[in-house]
Amino acid sequence: MSKVFTFKDEVALAKNAAEIISSAASESINKNGRFTIALSGGRTPAILYRLLAKPPHNDLSWKNIFVFWSDERCVPADDEKNNSYLAKNTLLDHVPIPAENIFSFPVKMPVSDGVKQYEKILVSFFKSELPAFDMILLGMGEDGHTASLFPGTNLHEMQGRLVAAVKRPGEAIDRITFTPQLINAAKNILILVTGQAKATVLSAVFANKEKNKYPVQLIKSSHLRWLVDEAAASSLKK
């Protein structure tokens, strides 16, 4: 059963998320010599990324931290719609992480080639056909999507895959996303949800009335923690 932690507001939530990530990173580096994390896109993690770039978190052993993304929009890296753009501008450009530790999705090539290349990178880096990230960070949209797993898309075709090419209904750009299988293999999963606009869908997701109606319900792991603020939690049954 996943655990839900509620915070007064997005700043309190981000501070706690930074603590969780920092301690997980230190523990994993001490134990295994490295910490692997997949960051999420969207606006929610911006405060968190800025906190990780400042004391006390910025003195982590960044040379032992390896950063991936749980999804990406196939737009140039300097386009602010690119998910790695936010993380680089608020965090990665401000800490001593070696460039070779940052694995952005290859967005310049056709998306089918990008998927194959990223899957190869994951299997080779983790030396496993089903990589287990130390931490995967996710958000959730108002339609219950997470990463780029959207309602009404080819989620059933992702069986056995680590990464897939998708399109958000109504959006022209290609996207690449981690599959539920890859996400669920992680040792820690954090889903960050803030704001009143998410309250209705969060309540529906937790009510679980229609199994897997919402893609975020495909994230089923005992290592999953929901970090939500009071506004997003305002429709949850007490």
Do residues 62 and 95 lie in contact, with contact meaning Cβ atoms separated by under 8 Å?
Answer: yes
Q: Which is nearer to ligand 6PG, 44 or 90 (CB)?
A: 44
> Taking the complex as a whole, how short is the minimal distance between the CB of residue 30 and ligand 6PG, in angstroms?
30
Euclidean distance between CA atoms 71 and 219, whole angstroms: 15
What is the number of other CB atoms lying within 10 angstroms of the CB of residue 18? 20
Q: Which is nearer to ligand 6PG, 28 or 70 (CB)?
A: 70
**Residue appearing with tokens 């209904």:** 169
Q: Which is nearer to ligand 6PG, 64 or 71 (CB)?
A: 71
> Taking the complex as a whole, how short is the minimal distance between the CB of residue 175 and ligand 6PG, in angstroms?
7
> Taking the complex as a whole, how short is the minimal distance between the CB of residue 114 and ligand 6PG, in angstroms?
15
Question: What sign does the CA torsion over 94, 100, 103, 104 have?
Answer: positive
> Taking the complex as a whole, how short is the minimal distance between the CB of residue 96 and ligand 6PG, in angstroms?
26
Q: Which is nearer to ligand 6PG, 44 or 64 (CB)?
A: 44
Euclidean distance between CA atoms 145 and 213, whole angstroms: 10
With CA atoms as reference, report the closest residue to 222 among 32, 2, 43: 2
Q: Which is nearer to ligand 6PG, 36 or 70 (CB)?
A: 70
> Taking the complex as a whole, how short is the minimal distance between the CB of residue 212 and ligand 6PG, in angstroms?
17
Tokens of residue 26, six digits: 């230190």
Binding interface with ligand 6PG (CB under 6 A)? 40-44, 71, 73, 83, 139-141, 145-148
**Residue appearing with tokens 């007064």:** 8
Q: Please give the DSSP secondary-structure letter assigned to residue 170.
A: T
